Amino acid sequence: MGIESSTTTAASAAAIGLREAKKRETRQLISDRATELFIAQGFERTTIAEIADAARVAKKTVTNYFPHKEDLAFDHQDEFVAGLARTVAAREPGESALAALRSSFLSAVMAHDPVAGFAGPEFTRMIAESPTLTTCLRGLHDRREDALAAALAEATGADPGDITPRTAASLLGGVHRVLFGRIQELTLAGHTNSEIASVLLPEAMEAFTLLEPALSDYAR
């Protein structure tokens, strides 16, 4: 009975793994087809029905995976929103929040990380030309800052009414927001990722250095 039980459990786990893999494939397919259509004809002019047809799925399948149309364009939004908070939570002992976030951002620039803004000219132009997506991006920056404030409050043991974590998050999030916009600006100007990185590295160092008088020891 033990062998049968183990075999059944393994088979069940394998089936679940296959279903999850299929779901991920379907989700990625829908996202890819949606992005292609958004780039080709604009976000506002693209319908859910057209996306469903392109991905060869039902409209309901699209909305099951992506409840809001904007989610199709920003399919990595959860990673974006949580990124700064995770960096603070994972910082080394004795490392300040500023130092951890600066190091993480510089690494992202060198890696040409899409989440940091290296999304390519077509995708970047798609966002810039869409009022809906531009507004949504601002909201994602706000949510990322809120998540960072919560992480800083936890890291420092701040009282619920203490505005210090929110103030620090505003400063740190503001630098990231400016640098993200800078990457978009240079991308739309026709620069390659390597060229953008060469410009961003010294600019990012200068931007983070401006925060050192206030935050060099914060959340150390």
Is it the case that residue 1 has pLDDT exceeding 60?
A: no
CA distances from 150 to 62, 89, 164, 167, 170 (A): 32, 10, 11, 11, 12
Is it the case that residue 11 has pLDDT exceeding 70?
A: no
Q: Nearest 5°: CA angle at 62, between 56 and 66?
A: 150
pTM: 0.87
Mean pLDDT over the full length of the chain: 93
Q: Are 200 and 182 in contact (CB under 8 A)?
A: yes
Domains (range + CATH), the chain = 2-73 (1.10.357.10), 77-213 (1.10.357)
60-73: per-residue pLDDT in tens?
999 999 999 999 99
